[in-house]
Amino acid sequence: MNEQSADANYQGVWGNRIGFGKKAALLMIDFMQGYTTEGAPLFAPGVVTAVAQSVELLATARQHGIAVVHTNIRYHPGHFVDGGIWVKKAPVMKDMVEGNPLAAFCAEVLPLAEEVVITKQYASAFFGSSLAPMLHAQGIDTVVLAGCSTSGCIRATAVDAVQHGFRTIVVRECVGDRHPAPHEANLFDIDSKYGDVVSKQEAMRKFREQ
């Protein structure tokens, strides 16, 4: 008996398209230099590509008046208690302290002075932050995700986004991970159950129509 492919197994059960709503925001998730600096513990080749691909996406969002929110991660450098159990599970995250060059934003996608930066301690941009009420207050019903990593903060943010009532869009070319297997597996899961995975060209077209 031949085992079904994942696509065949999910067909007709998962994978409904949700699409864009009336007003979108672009969330630039954790594009920090630790993920793009070769030799750094967090280095992820897929993120290097994602940053390069996101330059045009970010420029298009800004050009068409789409709200842009950036996130980063910061911990207390002395004891890391604000990282709780996650930092114990993933001590590699201890690089994310103020003053460490690895915790700085990637130069290609730096936030503008008027763009909000949400500082978080856990994977989801929504967990323990003001992101959801801030977006709801602006009438935003759709969040478009770029950033890293696909299997970590992108997935966690996508799951929380739909649970907070947002249409969730992930831009395929603009997210990355350290290995293609978890990257592709998590894109499959997100596209099946939590949001739509779309091409950069489609996302930019939608920005122009907003």
Q: What are the catalytic residues?
A: 153
For the CA atoms of the chain, what is the radius of gyration? 17
CB within 8 A of 184, min separation 6: which ones?
A: none
Phi, psi (degrees; rounded to nearest 5) at 181: -65, -55
**H or E segment and range at residue 89:** helix 84-89
> From the CB of residue 3, how many other CB atoms can be counted at a distance below 10 Å?
7
Helices (H), ranges, the chain: 6-10, 45-63, 84-89, 131-137, 155-163, 180-189, 200-209
Structure tokens that stand for 149 in this block: 């990593």
> What's the CA gap between 42 and 71, in Å, rounded?
17
- Spatial CA neighbour of 57 closest among 195, 173, 210: 173
Beta bridge partners of 164: none
**Which amino acid, residue 143?**
V
Is the bond preceding 149 in cis, omega lying within 30 degrees of 0?
A: yes
